[in-house]
Amino acid sequence: MKKFRDVASVALLIAPAALSSLSVGCGDYSAPGGTNAGTGGSGASGGSGGGGPLPPNTAPLPCTILQSANHPCVSAHSTVRVIVPGYTGPLYQVERPSDGLKQDIGSVDGYSDAATQEAFCGTENCVVRLIYDQSPQGNHLAEAPPGSAKPTPGNPAYAGALKVNINGRTVYGLSFRPGQGYRSACNECQYPESGVPGTARGDEPQTVYMVSSKEGLIDGCCFDYGNAEVTANNDGEGTMEAVYLGQGVIWGSGVDGGPWVMADLENGLYPGWEDGQWDDISTSTPLLYDFVTALIVGDTADKNGGKGRFAVYGGDAANGALKTMYDGIRPEKVGYVPMQKQGSVILSIGGDNSDGDGGRFYEGVMANGAATIETINALQAAIVAAGYGK
């Protein structure tokens, strides 16, 4: 695989003037897909039925909200919908096992063109080879390379394993089982081709969310989406910062049995830090929803009198507001203040390629900067407006 060029992080500075009408045209790009890599996008979304045209989602998209608050999206992935304004490229790429042909799956009216997937795969059990980054950074997720915890590559998820409804459409999320996982922007990763992921490094602040579910979770390490080591090794406390959903494996916990949203900060899943420890965090309550918004904010070392800050939020992605599960100091252990983030992007693995977990994934974003509660509330409203489960 192509060696990733380890250069300094590049923040995308998007001026407020470029956000007129809350629409940022990130544009298309030449998809790096393989044989028969068309973008799809023609015809109606699969499984929608014959009841006439379906309503588009006219609400602001997640990256519209974040970019308007000067938090540029530097990693944006979804197999169910467009989440970056102006994006017209493919959402993901499937491979047919009988002949190895690949097909890019685009979008129709902002939602995944499931009809193209169904026509291409037929009765075959296609796999997802790539999840395209909708941000301009090109952090496309491919199967994770080997790491220190698991010396074999990650397996791809099955394309047809998770059929769901969203705003009247039938689309496909990703259902992960142990051994399946994706990564970009690492030393052995193929993408981004530019070698510049644009993701947060060191103690730089970031905001990360994913839409997942209470269903399908497997309590192994670690069902994450977010920022991890470029080495695919465990490089110590503070070298990753990803959002996690689950029971906490052997590390921190909330109350009432979970599942909980936590921050994976390497060598620990943290729902918070209370009374000098990470267990039974009183404000971290279960997220018992079919569609879950799980969100973390990683702030800088100068906050809270030099003790640093991180915040954890969670709620129903189909209805209502997010709850603040924790907002306070970083764990009082060596390595977490300041943070030492490296900027690789992971999905359904730990930073060291640990891969004993499982869960459901619909969309996820990494944005630079620490979002305020006002921005987080607007982001949640935009997620709810997508129509998960409807």
Q: Identify the pLDDT of residue 97.
A: 95
Instruction: Determine which of 22-36, 270-284, 295-309 has the lowest per-residue pLDDT on average.
Output: 22-36
Q: With respect to residue 239, please indicate whether it lies within any of the assigned structural domains.
A: yes
Residue range 204-218: average pLDDT? 98
Residues classed as catalytic: 266, 352
Instruction: Determine which of 38-47, 52-61, 163-172, 214-223 has the lowest per-residue pLDDT on average.
Output: 38-47
Whether 139 and 196 have beta carbons less than 8 Å apart is answered as: no
Q: Identify the pLDDT of residue 48.
A: 43
Name the maximum alpha-carbon separation found in the chain: 60
What is the side-by-side strand order in the sheet with 323-328? 73-78, 363-368, 206-212, 292-298, 310-316, 323-328
Q: With respect to residue 232, please indicate whether it lies within any of the assigned structural domains.
A: yes
Q: Report whether pLDDT(150) > 90.
A: yes
Q: Identify the pLDDT of residue 32.
A: 58
Q: Report whether pLDDT(23) > 50.
A: no
Burial class from Cβ neighbours inside 10 Å (0-12, 13-18, 19+) for residue 27 reads exposed
Q: Report whether pLDDT(45) > 70.
A: no
Dump pLDDT digits (tens) for 111-137: 999 999 999 999 999 999 999 999 999
Tokens of 85: 């304004």
Give φ, ψ of 204 to 5 degrees: -65, 140
Residues contacting residue 52 through CB under 8 Å, at least 6 positions apart: none
pLDDT band at 51 (very low <50, low <70, confident <90, very high): low
Bridge partner residues of 209 (DSSP): 295, 365
Whether 243 and 210 have beta carbons less than 8 Å apart is answered as: yes
Give φ, ψ of 320 to 5 degrees: 85, -170
pLDDT band at 74 (very low <50, low <70, confident <90, very high): very high
| Structural domain total, the chain | 1
Q: With respect to residue 100, please indicate whether it lies within any of the assigned structural domains.
A: no
Output DSSP code: residue 53.
Answer: P
Q: With respect to residue 53, please indicate whether it lies within any of the assigned structural domains.
A: no
Q: Report whether pLDDT(199) > 70.
A: yes
Dump pLDDT digits (tens) for 313-367: 999 999 999 999 999 999 999 999 999 999 999 999 999 999 999 999 999 999 9
Tokens of 290: 């079919």
Bridge partner residues of 260 (DSSP): 246
Q: Report whether pLDDT(37) > 80.
A: no
Ranges of H-type helices in the chain? 62-68, 114-121, 303-306, 373-384
One-letter amino acid at 162 equals L
Q: Report whether pLDDT(266) > 70.
A: yes
Q: Identify the pLDDT of residue 57.
A: 78
Output the domain CATH number for residue 302: 2.60.120.200
Q: Identify the pLDDT of residue 59.
A: 86
Bridge partner residues of 170 (DSSP): 165
Q: With respect to residue 115, please indicate whether it lies within any of the assigned structural domains.
A: no
Output DSSP code: residue 116.
Answer: H
Q: Considering only CA atoms, give the Rg of the chain.
A: 19
Burial class from Cβ neighbours inside 10 Å (0-12, 13-18, 19+) for residue 98 reads exposed
Dump pLDDT digits (tens) for 221-231: 999 999 999 99
Direct distance between the N- and C-terminal alpha carbons of the chain, in angstroms, rounded to an integer: 41
Whether 76 and 9 have beta carbons less than 8 Å apart is answered as: no
Q: With respect to residue 353, please indicate whether it lies within any of the assigned structural domains.
A: yes
Q: Identify the pLDDT of residue 56.
A: 75
Q: With respect to residue 154, please indicate whether it lies within any of the assigned structural domains.
A: no
Q: Identify the pLDDT of residue 52.
A: 66
Residue located via tokens 């949203």: 261
What whole-number distance in Å separates Cα of residue 210 and Cα of residue 314? 10
| pTM score, whole prediction | 0.89
Q: Which domain holds residue 306?
A: 58-85+159-384
Q: With respect to residue 330, please indicate whether it lies within any of the assigned structural domains.
A: yes
